[in-house]
């Protein structure tokens, strides 16, 4: 990818951040020289309407305009308050990884191309999308097993997202290099290395076979654990761009009212979650590294089911000791 193209995309992203008031919300008083001059100029071009929004809302609006790869960038930077500051990290943590769905026909094409089989041969029924995020969306479907229909969740990679992400990644690296060059105080934060980490983790998330393998490994580790499990993977219907797994019926853990209405003991759920995570980390050395409430369901019997295992972590025996 040409540096000219990367510079153009970076300029466009900067313009969106300026217009939506994100740059104006930064603590520019702490800057000096050219960075402070740029911040001052940016404030002049902020949409008047944007000034009435809170900083978190400005970020959300800008990210929606910039597209899926910027959602991932924002979520990643939310885990790095050392890079963006505590206040900005808190705002970024509130970003919802929710995008518009793409057409069912495109999902069908992606599945058939990935698995080399017709959709009717794979699923007895294949429904409309029920959820969509920056990298993939999920469909409800059914498969026939021994004459019985079983519900499954089918996760499909968003068409074109790899190409778009790798294009935007060039812009991220350009921004990181410029930051190191013109803001010497930022060099200790190693922005280029931070960008490399983002690139590595997102590449992993874009291969659904790796998520399937992580689900299977965590499922094997926890098969005898009380109160915690992960969806079973249907490997026959899983490939790089599609992951088929057991459909989960339950209440999302971020739905506090729903949990209470279902009669769940919130304190018991919290205790179970903490104990489960510690078992995975310290006993097995393999854990779900993105276990926020939106990725956790609570079944009727109180069992916690973790989904969306695109990011997993490992600890060696030495670290666990």
Residues with a catalytic annotation lie at: 290
CA distances from 163 to 170, 189, 201, 208, 302 (A): 11, 28, 16, 16, 41
Three state DSSP letters for 35-68: HHHHHHHHHHCCCCHHHHCCHHHHHHHHHHHHCH
Tokens, residue 165? 């992400």
- CA gap 315, 103 in Å, rounded: 40
Which helix (H) or strand (E) element contains residue 73?
A: helix 68-78
Strands of 125-132's sheet, edge to edge?
125-132, 136-145, 148-157, 242-246
Answer positive or negative: Cα dihedral of 111, 116, 120, 121: negative
């Amino acid at each position: 990818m040409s540096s000219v193209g990367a510079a153009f995309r970076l300029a466009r992203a900067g313009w969106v951040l300026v217009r939506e008031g994100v740059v104006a919300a930064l603590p520019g008083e702490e800057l000096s020289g050219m960075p402070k001059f740029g911040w001052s100029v940016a404030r002049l071009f902020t949409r008047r309407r944007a000034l009435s929004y809170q900083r978190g809302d400005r970020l959300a609006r800008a990210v929606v305009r910039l597209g899926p790869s910027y959602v991932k960038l924002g979520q990643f930077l939310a885990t790095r308050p050392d890079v963006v500051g505590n206040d900005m990290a808190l705002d970024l943590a509130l970003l919802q990884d929710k995008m518009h769905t793409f057409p069912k026909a495109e999902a069908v094409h992606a599945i058939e191309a990935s698995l080399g089989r017709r959709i009717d041969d794979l699923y007895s029924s294949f429904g409309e999308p029920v959820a969509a995020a920056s990298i993939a969306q999920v469909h409800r479907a059914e498969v026939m097993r021994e004459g019985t229909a079983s519900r499954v969740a089918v996760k499909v990679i968003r068409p074109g997202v790899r190409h778009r992400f790798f294009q935007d990644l060039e812009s991220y690296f350009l921004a990181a290099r410029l930051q190191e060059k013109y803001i010497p105080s930022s060099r200790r934060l190693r922005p280029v290395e931070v960008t490399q980490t983002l690139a590595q983790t997102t590449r992993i998330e874009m291969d659904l076979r790796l998520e399937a393998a992580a689900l299977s490994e965590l499922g094997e580790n926890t098969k005898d654990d009380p109160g915690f499990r992960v969806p079973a993977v249907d490997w026959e219907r899983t490939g790089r761009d599609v992951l088929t797994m057991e459909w989960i019926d339950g209440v999302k853990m971020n739905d506090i009212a729903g949990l209470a209405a279902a009669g769940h003991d919130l304190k018991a759920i919290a205790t179970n979650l903490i104990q489960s995570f510690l078992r995975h980390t310290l006993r097995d050395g393999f854990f779900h590294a993105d276990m926020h409430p939106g990725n956790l369901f609570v079944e009727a019997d109180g069992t916690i089911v973790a989904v969306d295992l695109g990011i997993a972590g490992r600890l060696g025996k030495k670290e666990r000791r």
